């Protein structure tokens, strides 16, 4: 088995790290937390390099859960997928926007509709059948590690005092696409490790789960690459790192190292350096020998603060927007709706835009399909009573949801119970929302 090692020169200028609240009971948990700390520091240093002189900050918030929905917005009448949540079960099953779901099995239970309301638990075997461009596609997975605690990560390169991060209000302000992808991958890894910590710690009686980790600004000397320790082949090179300045590339095999003019006879992983050291590395690349040299520069890690809370008490924050404001799509039999209640509270029925806190909401809706479309021969002197329908919706932070009424012409005469229409989510898009 190949052994990969990340090459880090641990000459630290200033370092501060602490864990508070309940102490972790298991050594495995403590080791996983150490991995999380190193991962966050490394990822944020990479983000800093990508952002350069930009004014950037990080604010990641993840909500723990014990059960999980499918993680997709699905049009109820046609089972058409409108959007797929990042890192959700649907994404893991390979679902994309435009797919049409047909069947979903959770264990032995079969679902043919209302897919958005299906809840799954850790250990469930899930199988999905869908249509994509006329082709039937089947996928399956076993639900694992969904019981992770709620957590929040804050970072600001301009903050010298790490304790202030607990008090200031930061936003996720990253401009580079690579930086955003680094943070997305970091979220996945932190979720996975925290889920395992939570599982291990839950086995201890009386466990009260929660802690915080703080990292003050620091500088360290890092070559910035991953290497196969067995054959000294470079696996990856970080952008703007010392290894990048050296000119090393993935696939290079390290065959010689010189430090400040003296031959270094040990493996690269054991090399220790200081600021200003001159490093020369010889590598084999495509059966040719290359020699690269650079002067070691420090890697800066910004201050960051991580707080972790019990998954049974998630604290939702942020907001999204629900709107009924759009031009009816008559060709598709899509019409407007209006809401009389949200979460059991009356709202102004003429209001077309509602800002809602992130989380699950229930909307009491009425269709605005013209009466002449329902009964062409309707006696207009008689009052036509519409019946409400409920729509349950999980609102994600910084998303806008367009909601309308889907008219079923085959049921146009079945006005009792509102059988002629269904509330549908027409579109989901990114939209900056603030509760201020």
- Domains of the chain and any CATH numbers: 67-142 (2.30.42.10), 224-296 (2.30.42.10), 319-430 (no CATH)
Burial of 58 (0-12, 13-18, 19+ CB in 10 A): buried
Q: Model-level pTM?
A: 0.48
Give me the helices (H) in 52-151, please.
89-92
d(Cα 379, Cα 367) in Å, to the nearest integer?
19
8 A C-beta contact, residue 431 and residue 320 = yes
A 10 A CB-CB count for 292 gives 16
Encode pLDDT of 63-100 as tens digits: 665 567 788 888 777 888 887 876 678 888 999 988 99
CA dihedral 248, 252, 255, 256 (to 10 degrees): 0
Q: Give the H/E segment covering residue 236.
A: strand 233-237
Alpha-carbon Rg of the chain, whole angstroms?
Answer: 27
Question: Would you call 49 helix, strand, or coil by DSSP?
Answer: helix
Closest by alpha carbon to 38, among 2, 63, 8, 4? Answer: 8
pLDDT of residue 11: 36
The reported pLDDT for the residue numbered 382 is 54
Residue ranges for the chain with pLDDT beneath 50 = 1-2, 8-22, 205-206, 311-315, 378
According to the model, what pLDDT value does residue 339 have? 94
Q: Give me the pLDDT at residue 2, please.
A: 47
């Amino acid at each position: 088995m190949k052994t990969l090692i990340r090459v880090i020169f641990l000459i630290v200028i200033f370092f501060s790290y602490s864990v508070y609240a309940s102490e972790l009971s298991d050594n495995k948990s403590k080791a996983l937390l150490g991995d999380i700390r190193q991962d966050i520091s490394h990822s944020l240093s990479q983000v800093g390099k990508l952002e350069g002189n930009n004014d950037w900050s990080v604010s990641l918030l993840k909500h723990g859960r014990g059960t999980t929905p499918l993680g997709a917005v699905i049009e109820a009448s046609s089972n058409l997928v409108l959007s797929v949540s990042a890192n959700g079960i649907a994404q893991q099953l390979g679902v994309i926007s435009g797919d049409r779901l047909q069947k979903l099995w959770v264990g032995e239970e079969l679902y043919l509709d209302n897919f958005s309301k299906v809840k799954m638990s850790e250990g469930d075997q899930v199988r999905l059948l869908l249509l994509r461009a006329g082709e039937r596609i089947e996928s399956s997975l076993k639900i694992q590690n969904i019981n992770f605690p709620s957590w929040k990560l804050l970072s600001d390169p301009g903050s010298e005092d790490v304790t202030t991060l607990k008090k200031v209000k930061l936003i996720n302000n990253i401009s580079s696409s690579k930086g955003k992808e680094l943070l997305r991958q970091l979220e996945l890894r932190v979720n996975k490790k925290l889920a395992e910590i939570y599982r291990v710690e839950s086995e201890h009686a009386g466990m009260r789960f929660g802690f915080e980790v703080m990292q003050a600004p620091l500088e360290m000397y890092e070559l910035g690459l991953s290497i196969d320790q067995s054959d000294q082949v470079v696996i990856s090179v970080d952008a703007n790192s010392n290894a990048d300045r050296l000119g090393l590339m993935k696939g290079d095999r390290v065959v010689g190292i010189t430090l400040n003019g003296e031959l270094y006879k040990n493996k690269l992983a054991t090399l220790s350096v200081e600021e200003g050291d001159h490093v020369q590395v010889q590598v084999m690349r495509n059966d040719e020998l290359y020699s690269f040299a650079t002067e070691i520069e420090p890697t800066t890690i910004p201050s960051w603060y991580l707080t972790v809370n019990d998954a049974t008490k998630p604290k939702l924050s942020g907001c999204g927007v629900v709107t009924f404001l759009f031009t009816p799509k008559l060709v598709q039999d899509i019409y407007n709706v209006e809401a009389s209640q949200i979460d059991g509270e009356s709202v102004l029925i003429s209001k077309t835009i509602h800002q809602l806190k992130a989380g699950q909401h229930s909307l009491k809706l009425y269709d605005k399909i013209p009466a002449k479309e329902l009964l062409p021969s309707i006696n207009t002197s008689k009052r036509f009573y519409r019946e409400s329908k409920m729509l349950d919706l999980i609102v994600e932070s910084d998303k806008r949801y367009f909601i309308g009424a889907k008219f079923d012409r085959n049921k146009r005469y079945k006005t009792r119970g509102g059988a002629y229409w269904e509330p549908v989510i027409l579109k989901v898009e990114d939209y900056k929302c603030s509760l201020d």
